[in-house]
Chain A
Amino acid sequence: DQQVKQNSPSLSVQEGRISILNCDYTNSMFDYFLWYKKYPAEGPTFLISISSIKDKNEDGRFTVFLNKSAKHLSLHIVPSQPGDSAVYFCAASYDYKLSFGAGTTVTVRA
């Protein structure tokens, strides 16, 4: 049973607008959450993370929000750029194990 779920397989957004990616988790033991970005034929690369003791972390155009009571996190990308077109994976960490969601494919339209 998947403990990390990304319910939107794809997202299309216009260049310059905001992209919002959502992620839900079931295991309350997760203590760290990360987002990874993946281009075709490459390995995932780290984007941004947040500890379970925080509710927001910002890094340039990327902001991650964590709502522990709802077991929900989201990634905001503002403004979206063509180079942001990729698959985004939400991941949650506990005890040396990283559980990944199925990914959301983001397409940024010019």
Chain B
Amino acid sequence: NAGVTQTPKFQVLKTGQSMTLQCAQDMNHNSMYWYRQDPGMGLRLIYYSASEGTTDKGEVPNGYNVSRLNKREFSLRLESAAPSQTSVYFCASSAVGTNTEAFFGQGTRLTVV
């Protein structure tokens, strides 16, 4: 019953450091997403992958890159972390697109100092 698994759960980075957030789902879903949640802003879409082999920019893609490694895994990379990227990051997956229920991971709390 794993669903969507994100690692790590917490991370502190120094400005300019890089890191990759990992996400894996075991529900055989086609679509996967990365969101960030900031106070008073709700969740904002960073990147999404409608199906294996495709990725597209969302609402706030600057400073991030993604890789859809296979159907199960979708990673988010910060090449040079900035304090403005301090946030809680959520990975999600859905069977097909966003008109079906999306399942979210538990989140990664990232602090950039």
Contact = CB atoms under 8 A, between A and B. Distances in A.
A14 interface: no
A55 B51 CA distance: 30
Q: Name the interface size band of chain B.
A: 20 to 34
Interface of A: 2, 4, 6, 9, 31-32, 34, 41-46, 49, 51, 89, 93-94, 96-103
B104 A98 contact: no
B101 A46 contact: yes
A43 B101 contact: no
Nearest to A32: B99
Interface in B78-113: 90, 92, 97-99, 101-107
B56 to A, nearest CB: 7
A46 B31 CA distance: 16
B43 interface: yes
Contacts of B92: 43
Interface of B: 4, 31, 33, 35, 40-45, 48, 50, 56, 58-59, 90, 92, 97-99, 101-107
B104 A2 contact: no
A98 B90 contact: no
Contacts of A49: 99, 101
B99 A31 contact: yes
B48 A44 contact: no
Contact of A98 (B56, B98, B107): B98
Closest 8 CB pairs of A and B: A43-B104, A100-B42, A93-B98, A46-B101, A32-B99, A98-B98, A100-B43, A102-B42
Given A31-B99, A43-B4, A93-B99, A4 B45 contact: no
